[in-house]
């Protein structure tokens, strides 16, 4: 039995559709119930929903053999997992944004507000840029508006939220999409089952 | 008594016996080393983060995060041509998915000196046997940095692309690997991708490799493992990357069913010896014992088998004799049952006699 952690929410539902189309359906998952774990014994899969940012933890610690996590989470937390497939879903980008008309002044420390401190540190570290990281857990867009930070590093999907707040994304750090990840030890012991799942999913993935 | 021994303790004893059979002698070392040793060789360590303190003479010391460096440092160029040591030590470093400091019980061996294919084979065999000692459900995955480096050299990647490719290899991330190798000869990229995803038994997998000294080495090692009946547990896996400043030749990792992270790590580290000014080659591995409790399926039903209650006026000598009779399966002698304690039965010592007053399950 291969345990698969799916991210709760819209992306997770799309990911489940992909599994279903690949021959790994688990009809009970569509029933409106409070169940947490859904199993299809004949297909050899067991799905469970977890908070998207927790998927990598479940996989790294072996509670799930496979999981689907955003590249943002993988870059930020660097879990020791295999990244077996880009599902080309949940496409967006990690970007630097600030108030319209902002001019980056390189002779000053740049104040960066973000949820993704490791990504931001690495990005500016590679440029030898002195930054002051301000870790926020939400409403990141508020930071430059209220003068808490000069810029923000955050996920940009359509750019609507930025636009509505008169912010502009002016640098892309890295494109983001959902990835199929695997526990390293689980991969060794369930190699045949995991490879079959990867091959089946590959046939359904649309690189767009 | 042996059933009371934890798996970790049983494994330590079995492995020590195994290593001694192959001529490895025990190496006992201090818990501390000057921090400079780790600072100069920090990429050799499996994780960053060393716990430091200042010694009485002002030297900055570290709680040992690694054992190999200490053994290599103490290797004397004028010593016998081969030094085989095994150890069983606690190391202190950032480890595990929690990324916090941990004390890790580590056991392993190092073989230093004039090392040839025989010694490499013996160490690999002992790595596989060490895993087998713990559980029959294990895999030992092997890569060869010599082969990998020559493949990457032929692809003529820049240093940045090379680092990115190594990262992709570790993640088994085929799509990104192909992205970073754009422009390199496609048959080389295909081979690299195939080796990264390969997961068959080493005896079959070596056939995929292009002719080279490294392939010949792996073929001989595979034959050795086959002879020992262990080849089916050993796989070629080019996602294993040791730091190229220290490791060369074979590198390997061990996995055990039921443990989510690797339990064994090792390789050939001639370059480390060279960096430390030693005229010798080296190969060794460590087994991480801290995760083994995940394999323990023994669930104790009770805290103690028997509680023997006595009162203040009890004859102490007679009570002691009664307790001794019950001690075989475990007895706690007390005036009253400690709160939250569970036991199979409760006995009372009164008037020189023991009577059962409660029995559970």
pLDDT tens sequence across B67-109: 888 898 888 876 567 899 999 999 898 877 777 888 889 999 9
Contact yes or no for B201/B226 (Cβ under 8 A): no
| Contact check, Cβ <8 Å, A84/B173 | yes
Q: How confident is the model at residue B297 (pLDDT cuts 50, 70, 90)?
A: low
Cross-strand pairs, B356: B347
Number of H helices, E strands in chain A: 8, 11
CA atoms within 13 A on the CB side of A58: 22
ipTM of the complex in this document: 0.82
Of A57, A184, A195, the CB nearest to B262: A184
What per-residue confidence (pLDDT) applies to B80? 62
Q: Across the interface, which of A61, A85, A191 has its CB nearest the CB of B260?
A: A61
Q: What is the mean pLDDT of residues B181-188?
A: 88
Q: How confident is the model at residue B1 (pLDDT cuts 50, 70, 90)?
A: very low
Q: Does A170 touch chain B (CB under 8 A)?
A: no
A133: contact with B, CB 8 A cutoff: no
Q: Among B172, B235, B260, select the one facing A84 at the smallest CB separation.
A: B172
CB atoms B172 and A82 under 8 Å: yes
Of residues A57, A186, A191, nearest to B97 (C-beta): A57
* Residue numbers in B near A196 (CB within 8 A): none
Q: Is the pLDDT of residue B336 over 60?
A: yes
B257 part of contact set with chain A, CB < 8 Å: yes
Contact between A59 and A181 (Cβ < 8 Å)? yes
Does the pLDDT at position B43 exceed 80? no
pLDDT at B73: 86
Q: What is the DSSP pairing of strand A178-183 with strand A81-86? A: antiparallel
| pLDDT(B66) > 80 | yes
Whether B28 has a pLDDT exceeding 90, the answer reads no
Q: Report d(CA B124, CA B142) in Å as an integer.
A: 9
Contact B54, B61 (CB under 8 A): yes
Mean of pLDDT values over A163-190: 95
Of B36-50, B150-164, B207-221, highest mean pLDDT: B207-221
- Return the residue in A59, A175, A185, A189 with the most chain B beta carbons within 10 A, the one to mutate for interface testing: A185
Long-range contacts of A191-195 (CB under 8 A, 24+ apart): A191/B199, A193/A2, A193/A44, A194/A2, A194/A65, A194/A66, A194/A84, A195/B199
Nearest chain B CA: its distance from A84 CA (Å): 5
* pLDDT value for B78: 67
- What is the predicted pLDDT for the residue at A208? 66
Check CB contact of A60 with chain B, cutoff 8 Å. Answer: yes
- Mind telling me how many Å the CA of A73 is from chain B's nearest CA? 14
Tokens of B163: 């680092």
Evaluate whether the domain defined by B1-137+257-301 bears CATH number 3.30.930.10.
yes
Q: Are A61 and A41 in contact (CB under 8 A)?
A: no
- Range of lowest pLDDT (A61-75, A176-190, B238-252, B285-299): B285-299
- pTM of the entire structure? 0.85
Look at residue A75 in the predicted model and tell me its pLDDT: 95
Domain limits of chain B? 1-137+257-301, 139-235, 304-357
Asked if B255 lies within 8 A of A184 by C-beta distance, the reply is: yes
- CA–CA separation, B3 and B5 (whole Å): 5
Residue A55 sits at the chain B interface (C-beta within 8 Å): no
> Does the distance separating the beta carbons of B259 and A62 come in below 8 Å?
yes
Q: What angle do CA B16, B21, B22 make, to 5 degrees?
A: 105
Residues B5-27: tens digit of each pLDDT = 678 888 999 999 999 999 999 98
Read off the pLDDT of residues A134-173 as tens digits, 9 standing for 90 and up.
999 999 999 999 999 999 999 999 888 899 999 999 999 9
A85 contact residues in B (CB cutoff 8 A): 175
Closest CA to B289 of B157, B94, B107, B155: B107
Chain A nearest-CA distance from B193, in A, is 12
CB of B137 within 8 Å of any CB in chain A?
yes
What pLDDT is recorded for position B2? Answer: 52
Say whether pLDDT at B277 is over 70.
Answer: yes
* Residues B199, A184: C-beta atoms closer than 8 Å: no
């Amino acid at each position: 039995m291969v345990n698969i952690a799916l991210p709760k929410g819209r992306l997770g539902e799309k990911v489940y559709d992909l599994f279903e189309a690949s021959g790994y359906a688990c009809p009970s998952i569509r029933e409106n119930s409070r169940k947490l774990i859904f199993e299809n014994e004949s297909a050899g899969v067991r799905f469970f929903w977890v908070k998207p940012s927790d998927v990598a933890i479940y996989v790294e610690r072996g509670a799930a053999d496979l999981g689907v996590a955003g590249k943002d989470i993988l870059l930020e937390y660097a879990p020791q997992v295999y990244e077996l497939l880009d599902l080309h879903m949940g496409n967006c980008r990690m970007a630097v944004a600030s108030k319209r008309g902002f001019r980056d002044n390189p002779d000053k420390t740049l104040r960066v507000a973000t949820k993704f401190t490791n990504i931001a540190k690495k990005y500016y570290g590679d440029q030898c840029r002195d930054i002051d990281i301000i870790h926020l857990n939400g409403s990141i867009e508020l930071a430059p508006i209220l003068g808490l930070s000069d810029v923000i590093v955050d996920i940009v999907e359509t750019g609507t939220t930025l636009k509505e707040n008169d912010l502009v994304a002016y640098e892309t750090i890295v494109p983001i999409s959902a990835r199929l990840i695997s526990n390293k030890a689980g991969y060794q012991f369930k190699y045949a089952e995991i490879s079959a799942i990867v091959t089946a999913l590959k046939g359904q993935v649309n690189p767009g | 008594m042996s059933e009371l021994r934890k798996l970790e303790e049983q494994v330590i004893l079995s492995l020590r016996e195994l290593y001694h059979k192959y001529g490895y002698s025990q190496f006992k070392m201090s818990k501390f080393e000057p921090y400079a040793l780790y600072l100069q060789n920090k990429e050799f360590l499996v994780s960053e983060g060393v716990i430091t303190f200042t010694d009485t003479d002002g030297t900055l010391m570290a709680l040992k995060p690694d054992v190999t460096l200490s053994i290599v440092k103490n290797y004397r160029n004028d010593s016998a041509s081969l030094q085989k040591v095994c150890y069983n030590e606690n190391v202190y470093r950032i480890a595990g998915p929690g990324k916090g400091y941990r004390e890790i019980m580590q056991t392993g061996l190092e073989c230093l000196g004039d090392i040839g294919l025989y010694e490499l084979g013996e160490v690999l065999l002992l790595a596989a046997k060490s895993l087998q000692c713990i559980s029959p459900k294990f895999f030992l995955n092997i890569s060869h940095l010599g082969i990998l480096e020559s493949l990457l050299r032929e692809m003529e990647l820049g240093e940045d692309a090379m680092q990115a490719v190594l990262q992709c290899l570790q993640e088994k991330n085929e799509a990104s690997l192909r992205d970073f190798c754009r422009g390199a000869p496609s048959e080389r990229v295909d081979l690299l991708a195939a080796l990264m995803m390969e997961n068959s038994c080493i005896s079959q997998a070596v056939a995929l490799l292009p002719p080279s000294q490294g392939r010949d080495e792996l073929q001989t090692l595979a034959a050795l493992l086959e002879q020992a009946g262990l080849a089916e547990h050993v796989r070629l896996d080019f996602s294993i990357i040791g730091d190229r400043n220290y490791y060369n030749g074979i590198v390997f990792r061990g996995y055990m069913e039921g443990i989510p992270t690797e339990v064994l790590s090792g390789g050939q580290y001639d370059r480390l010896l060279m960096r430390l000014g030693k005229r010798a080659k080296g190969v060794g591995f460590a087994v991480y014992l801290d995760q083994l409790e995940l394999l323990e399926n023994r669930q104790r039903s009770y805290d103690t088998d028997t509680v023997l209650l006595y009162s203040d006026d009890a004859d102490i000598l007679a009570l002691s004799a009664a307790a001794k009779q019950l001690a075989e399966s475990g007895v706690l002698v007390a005036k009253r049952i400690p709160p939250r304690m569970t036991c199979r039965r409760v006995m009372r010592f009164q008037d020189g006699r023991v009577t059962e007053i409660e029995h559970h399950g």
